[in-house]
Every structure is written in C-alpha cells, then in structure tokens.
Structure 1
C-alpha cells in the first residue's frame, strides 16, 4: 500500500527500524517550543496525508519521550480519518515535572496506518450471554 503525502517541512514520515509498525513524525517549527509541566499544545508537522478508504492513521506517543520526559498525547491515541486532508498536528502534553523543549525536526510521535471495518448497527433489546457478563473494570483482579 502507498501513502500519499505532501511535506511542507521537507520531513517524510519514516520507519526507524525494519520491524517498526509506526513511522516517526517530526515537529515543524519556526522556533523552539517549550511545553511547561501539565501544558497541552498542538505541534505542527508540515505533513498532509491521503489515507486510503478503509484505513485510518493512528497517532501515538513515542515510548522513549513518555518514560524519560513524561511527554504524551492529550487524547491517548489520535485518529486520522481517510477523508481528512489538513495538516497533521500532534496534541502533546507534558505530564513531567520539568519544562520540555521541542526543536524543529525533533521526533515527537508515531504514525501507524491500520485497516478497520465499518459495522452495521443493529438496535436490539438483549445481548447474548457470556461467562464474563457485566464484569467490568478490574473484575479479574491483579494476581493471576
């Protein structure tokens, strides 16, 4: 599958290793940006994509930034729909205790392209029973 992109920044999303599922997205900034602790900002990438119908783009945090600096995505995982044609901007948050500086070209997130299925919604008055039933959050406990 090919992913068509326009890159105003000159940066092209790329896989860092042979087994990587996500392509690195880089910041496109005219000047450095500082994220203060608990601050949220949209970080531009200068990237526009044409995702084929039946696929979505998933913007994910970089694990190294998350564990080392406390930098994550405001919405956990961001979804890019196949009909979106605007600039990819990454909603970062600084969960850490120190300011974090982002420079032009820094790798700030990952982009995963994933196939999805659309469903036909069927309204009903009952659902099939399962062993789990209504067991919700933490119903299996911590210890195995």
Structure 2
C-alpha cells in the first residue's frame, strides 16, 4: 500500500499525479519561455511546499520531454529540503543541437518525488571496511560493445 503524507502548499494549482501509483507529481510552468539549443532557463512553477521533517522532494526530468525534445534538468535531481518554503523553480536544459523548445504556461516540465530520508551521523575512521566493489568508481563494472567486438575489464579482473 502506498503511504500518503499531508503536504501544505501555496500554489495556483496543486501538483497532480497523472496515474494511480505514479511516483512523481507533475510540476507545471507558470511562464512561457523559449529554450534555445544548448541553453538553460530557470522556469517558475508557482508551487511552494512545507514538506514534513524526515522527507525531501526531488525534482526530476520528465522522460517524454527528454526522449522527444532533449529537455532535461540541469541539476537533476533538484533537492527540496523540508525546511525550504520558497517557490520550486526548475532549471531546464535543451540538449538538442539545432531545435529550440517552447514552454507554454501550464506545460508539465518536471516531476516532484517525495522520499523519506535518513539523517546520517558521520563517524570518522582510519579505514573503511572492505566491500565487493571496493574503490571502483565511474565505469568500474565494465561494459560490452558487441558491435565492435570489444570488451572491457571489470575491477575484479573478469571480462565484461
């Protein structure tokens, strides 16, 4: 069963979940803007929230905008902390190299996902315990490029 949380808002219209079971509620633009190729624009949503302590809101891109038009969010996911009371604004980026993208008032531009968060107590130590992954970072799990017939090695020395 999905947990519900009461979230007070100040907004011309509340964010809406498009379908039952959706994780993200749609945020819409309160202004008309043109995003030129390779440019970014910060767009207002008119939404301000009072998230309960122990929750954060993550502003994430809409997959359809990304797939069809190359529109994403510069700092995705954008974090809305429980103590923040200002308007949620979204910095959109047009990754298309040639086509501008027009945002109209009322267009769905992002989604807001509420997530319970744990507060960490950071404990300084001299060394961290071992793990299977170890210090392997970006690209450490390898990949297979079957078209080129190439392989990369993983951090464990296995062929990917």
Q: TM-score, normalised by structure 1?
A: 0.93
Matched, 1:33 2:33: yes
Q: Tell me which of 15, 18, 21 is aligned to 1:16.
A: 18
2:157 corresponds in structure 1 to none
State the superposition RMSD in angstroms.
1.1
In structure 2, how many angstroms separate the alpha carbons of the residues matched to 1:24 and 1:100?
19
Q: CA deviation at 1:2?
A: 0.7
2:133 corresponds in structure 1 to 132
Q: CA deviation at 1:25?
A: 0.3
Matched, 1:101 2:74: no
Q: CA deviation at 1:71?
A: 0.3
Map 1:1-144 onto structure 2 (within 5 A).
1-7=5-11, 10-29=12-31, 32-96=32-96, 97-143=98-144
Structure 2 unaligned residues grouped into runs of 5+: 145-159
Q: CA deviation at 1:137?
A: 2.1
Structure 1 unaligned residues grouped into runs of 5+: none
Number of matched residues?
140
Q: Which has the higher contact order (CA 8 A, sep 6+)?
A: 1
In structure 2, how many angstroms separate the alpha carbons of the residues matched to 1:134 and 1:109?
34
SS in 2 for 1:64: helix
Q: TM-score, normalised by structure 2?
A: 0.84
